[in-house]
């Protein structure tokens, strides 16, 4: 089962419960990271020195990056869950790199907005 630019599907011969639990832990890590970035955005907007339009803009950028990371984690969790149930696994080759690059770029833009 190939899914939106992911790698070639392979047979999944591991424990079904173990695989689902590992998928859930990974999802929670993506979600925790997204919430942390979003919370940083709120903190920047609220507590940045000389609060103003720049702090609010930087905060909104970080909030968007956090929501993007969390949304990707949810998308990935659901896709992998379906693959595990089908007895296949297609490693993410493209989407995770794109999301990480976008989130990092948004973080750098937020820093530049504050400077």
Per-domain residue ranges of the chain = 15-114
Sign, Cα dihedral of 90, 94, 98, 101: positive
Mean pLDDT of 68-79: 94
Residue with tokens 């990371």: 69
CA 18 to chain centre: 22
Model's pTM, two decimal places? 0.79
Backbone angles phi, psi at 11, to 5 degrees: -65, 140
pLDDT in tens, 22-73: 999 999 999 999 999 999 999 998 888 777 898 999 999 999 999 999 999 9
Q: Give me the helices (H) in the chain, please.
A: 16-47, 53-86, 95-114
**DSSP reduced 3-state for 32:** helix
């Amino acid at each position: 089962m190939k899914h939106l630019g992911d790698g070639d599907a392979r047979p999944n011969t591991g424990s079904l419960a173990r695989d689902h639990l590992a998928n859930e832990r990974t999802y929670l890590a993506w979600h925790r990271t997204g919430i942390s970035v979003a919370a940083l955005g709120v903190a920047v907007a609220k507590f940045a020195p000389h609060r103003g339009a720049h702090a609010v803009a930087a905060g909104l950028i970080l909030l968007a990056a956090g929501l993007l990371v969390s949304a990707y984690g949810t998308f990935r969790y659901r896709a992998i869950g379906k693959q595990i149930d089908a007895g296949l696994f297609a490693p993410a080759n493209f989407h995770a790199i794109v999301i990480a690059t976008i989130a990092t770029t948004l973080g750098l833009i937020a820093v530049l907005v504050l400077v």
